[in-house]
Amino acid sequence: MSIDVKRVRNDFPELEILVHGKPLIYLDNAASTLKCLPVINAVNNHYSHEAANIHRGVHYLSESGTIKYEETRSRIQNFINARHAHEVLFTKGTTESLNLVAQSYVSDFLTKGDEILVSTMEHHSNIVPWQIAAQRVGATVREIPINDQGEILLEEYEKMLSEKTKIVSICHISNSLGTINPIKEMIDMAHKIGSIFVVDAAQSISHEPIDVQLLDCDFLAFSSHKMFGPTGIGVLYGKEELLNKMPPYQGGGDMIDVVSFDGTTYNELPHKFEAGTPHIAGGIALKYAIDYIESLKLESIYAHEKMLLDYATEEILKIDGIKIIGTAKKKASVLAFSMAGAHPHDIGTLLDRQGVAVRTGHHCTQPLMKRMGVPATTRASFSVYNTFEDVDVFIQALLKAKELL
């Protein structure tokens, strides 16, 4: 099924705004997607008609909000094919999800000499939490190398796996390169030596179907704001047996069973890991984002974005002085590049003046930038509401920027 892009664009009101007098061409989707009307309406409806705390109230507004919030949890369970709804934990986003595992699992189940493997291409949120936790217990974080195209070297990865390897944490899709990693193969290899496997699915959740049972991953993290949903809400999926033995990440309301000064017992899953008042409106609205994605079908979204990526890649290579950073055989809709004699920030500023929004910098992947031999890149990333005309405007804007620089 092909995407009716004109209809889709009508669902994203931000696309109607003018930037410096020009129509917005939004190509910063890897950082955060725009929000669709069903999500916007759900947030507005909650704050206008049903704003109340959830889980502990017996009045109408509290009970209504609780039902809707928990409906999202069940919706996510089906979306990623988790065995149980209580294996779905709500967090602030991918970063907090990864920190939760690092603090709750590493601190209690790793010891001095144990190893955690991450790849060169990881986002800082999939490096730093492991480093912090590893320092506390005397474990070591090791780097899985990549090749010049931006692909993980599987043979090197396999050599690194040993009885010391307790955790492997890898991005499904690189936010800086667009590389689609062979997650299933890597998970199987890690499980053979008894290691748990964490998947950073922030970039893949709205681009590819994900089945956690088929992957057999132990944990999987993603954010709502990269899938047309609200900011400030995210998900950690974890296998029930692992979550049950892990200590709470934070203390406070709702995560307890009985509190006394003689000792405290904790609530059952998932509430053990969800202390305090949550982002209720965001949690409710996330269901509508998932509904929207499924109405378009992930296979169709991926096909549309691939056509845009292929076209943009073909056109940008016609410009002298451009070098694409990240040329993996399997790529998602991320196009990062450098331009000879021009700083990415200058390129981004000049593109913005022409209504084109891209991302510039190291993209929270400084080790990767060092490996690829660049201080930073300019990154265009495409989504379901982007068009071939958007690519044409982007290319023309880039040519104008090149003339000025």
d(CA 327, CA 157): 20
3-state secondary structure of 298: helix
Q: Does residue 402 contact residue 319 with C-beta atoms inside 8 Å?
A: yes
The secondary structure of the chain in percent helix, strand, coil, rounded to multiples of 5, reads: 45, 20, 35
d(CA 162, CA 172): 22
Q: Does residue 125 contact residue 131 with C-beta atoms inside 8 Å?
A: no
The one catalytic residue among 36, 171, 217, 364: 364
Is residue 364 annotated as a catalytic residue, yes or no?
A: yes
Token digits for 295? 């109405």
Q: Does residue 278 contact residue 90 with C-beta atoms inside 8 Å?
A: yes
E strands, 148-201, are 165-171, 196-200
Q: Does residue 14 contact residue 26 with C-beta atoms inside 8 Å?
A: yes
d(CA 399, CA 153): 35
d(CA 206, CA 354): 28
3-state secondary structure of 348: helix
Q: Which ranges of 106-205 would DSSP assign to H, the alpha helix?
A: 107-109, 128-137, 154-160, 183-192
CA dihedral sign, ordered 336, 342, 344, 350: negative
Which of the residues are catalytic? 364
